[in-house]
Structure 1
Amino acid sequence: MNPASVPSVPSIAVTGASGRLGGTTARFLADQGVPLRLLLRDATRAPDLKGTTTAEAGFGDKEAVRRALDGIDTVFMVSAAESEDRLEQHFTFIDAAVEAGVDHIVYTSFFGAAPDATFTLARDHFATEEKLRTAGPKFTLLRNNLYADILPDFADAEGVIRGPAEDGRAGFVARSDAARAAAAILQQPIPHAGFTYELTGPEALTLDEAAAILAETTGRPMSFRNETVDEAYASRAHYGAPPWQLDAWVSTYTAIARGEMDKTTNDVELLTGQAPLSLRQLFSRPLV
Structure 2
Amino acid sequence: MADEAPPSIAVTGATGRLGGRVARLLSGRGVAQRLAVRSPDRAPALAGAVPVRCAYDRPDQVTSALEGVDTVLMVSGSETPDRVEQHRTFIDAAAGAGVHRLVYISFFGASPDATFTLARDHWATEEHLRASGLTTVVLRDNFYLDFLPELVEADGVIRGPAGTGRVAAVAQDDIAEAAAAILAAPQGHDGATYSLTGPEALTLDEAAAVIARRTGRPVTFHDQGVDEAYASRAGQAPDWQLDAWVSTYTAIAAGELDGVTDDVPRLTGHRARSLDELLAAAGEA
Q: TM-score, normalised by structure 1?
A: 0.95
Q: 8 Å contact 1:8–1:35 — kept in the other structure?
A: no
Determine the structure 2 residue equivalent to 1:154: 151
Note the residue ranges of structure 1 that are not aligned, 5 or more in a row: 1-6
The answer to whether residue 211 in structure 2 is matched with residue 252 in structure 1 is no
RMSD, matched Cα: 1.2
Residues 141-175 of structure 1, C-alpha deviation per residue, up to 9 Å, x if partnerless?
00000001011211211121110000000101010
Determine the structure 1 residue equivalent to 2:75: 78
Determine the structure 1 residue equivalent to 2:44: 47
Looking at structure 2, the residues matched to 26 and 286 of structure 1 have their Cα atoms a distance apart, in angstroms, of 21
The answer to whether residue 180 in structure 2 is matched with residue 183 in structure 1 is yes
Determine the structure 1 residue equivalent to 2:277: 281
Shift of 1:221: 3.0
Q: 1:66 aligns with which of 57, 60, 63?
A: 63
Larger mean Cα displacement after TM superposition, 213-222 or 105-114: 213-222
Determine the structure 2 residue equivalent to 1:223: 220
Shift of 1:134: 1.0
Q: What letter corresponds to residue 145 of structure 1 in structure 2?
A: N
Residues 93-116 of structure 1, C-alpha deviation per residue, up to 9 Å, x if partnerless?
000100110000000000010000
The answer to whether residue 91 in structure 2 is matched with residue 94 in structure 1 is yes
Aligned residues: 281
Looking at structure 1, the residues matched to 58 and 203 of structure 2 have their Cα atoms a distance apart, in angstroms, of 40
Q: 8 Å contact 2:6–2:68 — kept in the other structure?
A: no
Distance 1:72 1:220, change over 3 A: farther
Q: 8 Å contact 1:108–1:144 — kept in the other structure?
A: yes
Looking at structure 2, the residues matched to 27 and 96 of structure 1 have their Cα atoms a distance apart, in angstroms, of 26
3-state SS of 1:169 partner: coil
Looking at structure 1, the residues matched to 29 and 224 of structure 2 have their Cα atoms a distance apart, in angstroms, of 46
Looking at structure 2, the residues matched to 132 and 238 of structure 1 have their Cα atoms a distance apart, in angstroms, of 35
